[in-house]
Amino acid sequence: MPKGTIRRDSISVEPRVRRGYFECRYGQLHVHHVMPGGGGFEEGTSLLCLHEVAGSARVFRRFLTLIGQDRSGYAPDLPGCGESDPPPQPARIADYAAAIGDFLDSMRFRHIDVLGHRSGALLATELAATRAAQIRRVVLVSVPSGDAAVHYPLRERLGSLSQRVLMLRVHDELWDATARAREVLPAARLIEVRDPGADPFTSAPAELADAVLEFLRGN
């Protein structure tokens, strides 16, 4: 069995994804979260999952149940998305990062890993760049670049990262953009996901969970 593969046949109870509300600078932040059956005392570093702007953290629900067999996972609806309160004005990546930072501070995470999907990858990059002592490892899935990353200095921010980075290059319209982002971080680990279906976190959650957990567990 590959090092990172989850032994699903030995697990009798699937972790349950729950929901809660937390305060941030824009009001209430709605968060999907999961915890291993042992209560979290023996688990690995928690994982924060960030969806694309204008989407919803519901996209991570199947993925979270798999992550929750190994560690706690948190997937907030970004401000103004899903069931989270909106900011008073249109938000930039730095604004979303500040709001998610409020959540991290309220939870008193000493260290946490972060995963970002599509424009959520920009947000994950911003958090990793501005909270280098707190963000341990970074997973970027389908990374926008060029026009898709307009008004955000992605290459500059990526170049400043000190954490270990995994890039999942999904065979979608951001296939080439993710390769360009990887050029900035040649030391980043790259895994290609060629046939994920319409959305990799709903159509291929096990494949992504195995890859992510192997990376997070590694030295």
Q: What are 80-120's pLDDT values in tens digits? A: 999 999 999 999 999 999 999 999 999 999 999 999 999 99
CA neighbours closer than 13 Å in the CB half-sphere of residue 13: 8
> Could you give the domains of the chain?
8-217 (3.40.50.1820)
Structure-block tokens of residue 50: 């960030």
For residue 150, what pLDDT is reported? 66
Q: Which residues contact 133 (CB under 8 A, 6 or more apart)?
A: none
Q: Which residues contact 215 (CB under 8 A, 6 or more apart)?
A: 4, 137, 139, 164, 166, 189
User: What's this model's pTM, rounded to 2 decimal places?
Assistant: 0.91
| pLDDT grade for 9, boundaries at 50, 70 and 90 | very low
Number of Cβ within 10 Å of residue 189's Cβ equals 16
Q: Give residue 140's identity as a one-letter amino acid code.
A: L
Report how far residue 188's alpha carbon sits from residue 138's, in angstroms, rounded to the nearest whole number. Answer: 10
Report how far residue 68's alpha carbon sits from residue 2's, in angstroms, rounded to the nearest whole number. Answer: 19
For residue 98, what pLDDT is reported? 97
